[in-house]
Amino acid sequence: MSAFNLQRLVEAVSLYFDIARLKKGPEDLPASPQLMVATIIAYGIASLAFTALLPPQSAHPLLLLVIDTVLMLVWIHLILRVARKPERFVQTTAATFGFQLVLSPLFAVGMSLFLRMREDPAWQVPVSMLIVALGVWALIVNSRILNAATQWPVFACTALVIAQALAARGLLLAIFPETIAAG
Per-position pLDDT tens, the chain of length 183:
455 577 887 888 999 999 999 999 999 999 999 999 999 999 999 999 988 877 766 678 888 899 999 999 999 999 999 999 999 999 999 999 999 999 999 988 888 888 887 778 788 888 889 999 999 999 999 999 999 999 999 999 999 999 999 999 898 888 888 764 444
In a domain, 18, yes or no: yes
* DSSP state letter for 59: S
Cα–Cα distance, 146 to 160 (Å, whole number)? 9
- 183 by DSSP, 3-state: which? coil
In a domain, 70, yes or no: yes
Q: Does residue 56 fall inside a structural domain?
A: yes
Number of domains present in the structure of the chain = 1
Give the global pTM. 0.90
Domain containing 172 equals 11-182
- Asked whether residue 6 is domain-assigned, the answer is no
Does residue 67 sit within a domain? yes
Helix (H, G, I), strand (E, B) or coil at 74: helix
